[in-house]
Chain A
Amino acid sequence: MERMLQGVSLAVLALALAGGTAVADTSDKRIALSNNYAGNSWRQAMLRSWDKVTSQAVADGVVAAADAFTTAENQVTEQAAMIQNLVLQGYDAIVLNAASPDALNGAVREACDAGITVVSFDGIVTEPCAWRIAVDFHQMGKDEVLYLAEKMPDGGKLLEIRGLAGVFVDDEISNGIHEGVAENPQFEIVSSVHGDWDQAVAQRAVAGILPSLPEIDAIVTQGGDGYGAAQAFDAAGRDIPLIIMGNRHDELTWWKEQKDASGYETMSVSIAPGVATLAFWVAQQILDGAEVPQDLVVPFLRIDQDNLEENLANTEPGGVANVEYTLEDAQAVIAAGGQ
Chain B
Amino acid sequence: MTRVLLAPRTLRAILPAVSLALLLAAIFWLQPRTMSYTGLNLMLNLAIPIALATIAQMFVLCVNELDLSIGAYVGYVACVTATWLVDNPPLGIAALLAGILVYAGLGALIHLRNLPSIVVTLGMSFVWLGVAVLILPRPGGTSPEWIRWLMKLHTPVVPFPIIAATVIAVVVHVALMRTAYGSILRGAGGNPRAIDRAGWSLLKIKVVMFALAGLFGMLAGMALIGLTTSGDANIAARYTLLSIAGAILGGCEFVGGRVSPAGAVIGAITLTLAGSFLSFLRISPDWQIGATGAILILVLALRALINRAEERR
| Residues of chain A having any CB pair with chain B under 8 Å | 67, 69-73, 75-78, 80-82, 84-85, 87-90, 100-107, 109-110, 114, 168
Q: List residues of chain A with CB within 8 A of the CB of B33.
A: 88-90
Residues from chain A with Cβ under 8 Å of B275 in the complex? 78, 81, 85
A-side contacts of B43, CB under 8 Å: 84-85, 88
Contacts of B239 in A (CB 8 A): 77
**Would you give the 0/1 interface string for B219-233, flagging 1 where the beta carbon is closer than 8 Å to chain A?**
000001011111110
Which chain B residues lie closer than 8 Å to A81 at the CB level? 46, 272, 275-276
> Knowing that A103-B230, A106-B227 are A-B contacts, what are 5 other residue pairs whose CB atoms are under 8 Å apart, sorted by A's residue number?
A73-B238, A89-B33, A101-B139, A102-B141, A168-B138
Interface string of B30-55 (1 = CB under 8 A from A): 01011000110011011000000000
Q: Are B280 and A114 neighbours in the complex by a CB distance under 8 Å? A: no
Counting chain A CB atoms within 10 Å of each CB, which of B38, B139, B236 scores highest?
A: B139
Interface string of B127-163 (1 = CB under 8 A from A): 0000000000011110100000000000000000000
Q: Which residues of the other chain, A, contact B234 by a CB distance below 8 angstroms?
A: 75-76
Which B residues lie within 8 Å of A109 (CB)?
229
B17 within 8 A of A: no
| Cβ contact within 8 Å between A88 and B39 | yes
Comparing B117-125, B193-201, B285-293, B300-308, the segment that makes contact with chain A is B285-293
Whether B42 contacts A87 by the Cβ 8 Å rule is yes
A69 touches B279 (CB 8 A): yes
Given contacts A75-B234, A89-B280, contact A104 B228 (CB under 8 A): yes
- 9 cross-chain CB contacts under 8 A: A75-B234, A77-B228, A77-B236, A81-B276, A88-B31, A100-B232, A100-B235, A103-B139, A103-B228
CB distance from B269 to the nearest CB of A (A): 13
Query: Are the C-beta atoms of B139 and A88 separated by less than 8 Å?
Result: no
**Residues in A neighbouring B42, C-beta threshold 8 A:** 84, 87-88, 110, 114
Contact yes or no, B279 A85, CB < 8 A: yes
Interface residues of B in 234-252 (CB under 8 A from A): 234-239
Query: A72 to B288, Cβ gap below 8 A?
Result: yes
Assess the B232–A88 pair: CB atoms within 8 A: no
> In the complex the two chains form, is B280's CB within 8 Å of A85's CB?
yes
How many angstroms from the CA of A88 to the CA of B43 in the assembled complex? 8
The answer to whether B38 touches A106 (Cβ under 8 A) is no
Q: Please pick, from B38, B140, B236, B282, the residue contacting A102 in the complex, using a CB distance under 8 A.
A: B140
Contacts of A100 in B (CB 8 A): 139, 230, 232, 235
Query: What's the minimum C-beta distance from A289 to chain B, rounded to whole angstroms?
Result: 24
